[in-house]
Structure 1
Amino acid sequence: MQFDKIDFIIIGAAKSATTWLQTQLQSDPAVYMPDPELHYFSREYGRGEDWYLSQFSEEGAGKIVGEKSNSYLYVPEAAARLHRHLPHVKLIVQLRNPVERAYSDYCMLFRRGEVGGDIGNYLDPSLGENLRFLVAGNFASHLQSYIELYGREALLTLFFEGVAGDPETQMSRIRAHLGLPPRPLAPGGQDKVKDKTVPVVPAGLRKRLAWMKPIARPLRGTTAFRAVRNLIAQEIQYPPLTDELRKRLNDYYGPSIEVLEQMSGQSLSHWYGPVGRSKKDMTGTDTLRRINYQGAGSVI
């Protein structure tokens, strides 16, 4: 594979149903995408060009070729690196209400046992702007670099609500952007790709049973394996996103959402939520924070 044979990149966002997009595209015989997220232009750039290109098999010959790495959206160096090697590609970004995205990301790591139950330590903006949960959701500033480098026409901006509300139209827009003919959704296209309500084996027990993975791997999918798993899997009780914390997050993301509305030409007023506030109420510290997004506004 050569760089000029790669046609598109899905740049994010994490926890925004981009895996669903990838699954739908991979179901088309005319499209080739490697399964894992490569994160080359963000986290793995030091591995070199040969490593990156080796991740694309010869199966992609003669097909529309792309990859998905959600970290490309928010790692500062990714846009310039990507444009240096792939100035011709078409870009796709699918965004989600940043408050819901942050909470979903937190729940995923909570389910894995990688974060504790004090949700405020991770999602309260007053305690600091961590990259993983909070800064990653400042979509307007992250998209600015891509718009400046690639222009508006190369970037298709989609929203999570499209997958839930009208998945056929969502995929039709992607296929038109990539120059692909219309095609029905793949079987199961209306289903969730991931479901955080599914019972899981507790994180502590998973660690203690890690030595059994090589033994159990050949049994995955069998009736016996499912029966044993169902005996030890538990429904997870996630720490709730309180109204007070949601309000703080709405206030934090408000200026970025306003600029994103201008960038996309779409109203995102529903993102403010029942305990959110009107854009007319963004005064004081919110106005100061908006200064960070003036550059993003300049590309509109």
Structure 2
Amino acid sequence: MHHRHALPQLSGRLLVTDGGLETTLIFHHGFDLPHFAAFPLLDSADGRVALRRYYDSYGAAARRSGAGCILDTPTFRASPDWAAKVGYDAEGLRRIIRDSVSLLRGVRDAWETSDLQVVINGAIGPRGDGYSAVDVMDADIAEAFHAPQVRAYAEAGTDLVMAQTMTHAGEAIGIARAAAKAGMPAVISFTVETDGRLPDGSSLREAIGATEAATSSSPVHYLVNCAHPTHLAPALAEGGEWIRRLGGVRANPSPKSHAELNESTTLEDGDPDELAALLADMRRRHRHFTVMGGCCGSDHRHAEKIGLACRLV
């Protein structure tokens, strides 16, 4: 697989992620997204326009903040079980992944300069509910389940794949192994509850340690996503060498719990300045954090503020 360049975030370049794609489309643009799936929008003219507008807003935010950006394919739900619920089979999924990558290539062509790097991430969401660890998988089952997505991203030429909102180590290990076999750089992003622990009750240190041990440390690094910075604080307070393997955080602007956010009928977009200040403070304490951004509830306003605040650290 020929990747365009070494990942800039691994040489210390700050990259700001895009934010809450689904929450932006639902609350700002009025789209109904059954099962929280954004990828079917690739198959409608209106949907493609909305997706392009969403990604362009992050290109513009990056230009204003001076930070690079990492953009997710709109495929958090483009895995077999979720896709079947919205009428897509395995071939449909492969096509969706190809289409999503070509959409992001267009975005990259429009915004990338020698000073502003745009990294394309193949997003992989959990097989089950990202807020619950009721359904846990062992690594072998997870690898078999997620491998076709990973291979599709490799064929389409994303710069990396990222397992997001992982609730337990088993699924993360399976995705990391599938990526290693496909020759794809992989990032593993766990989510934590308000106490800093994963939904299955394990500590972040334990989950990263288990994944490291089972994959010969193959992920390029780890992230935490879909949690407020204050939720991550207790995990970071433990200290230890494992924090060196954490590459950053994609934070929710709201300090509400996953259960509360699930029930929310309004956009929990918090205060962009406050989120940026919290993340800059985290980067001040952990200078190796290079991937920073917002998650559910955040948009390009948060991304711009995060880029500005974290660049100054």
TM-score over 0.5 for the alignment?
no
TM score, norm. by length of structure 1: 0.32
Greater Rg over alpha carbons, structure: 1
TM-score, length of structure 2 as denominator length: 0.31
Q: Which has the higher strand share?
A: 2
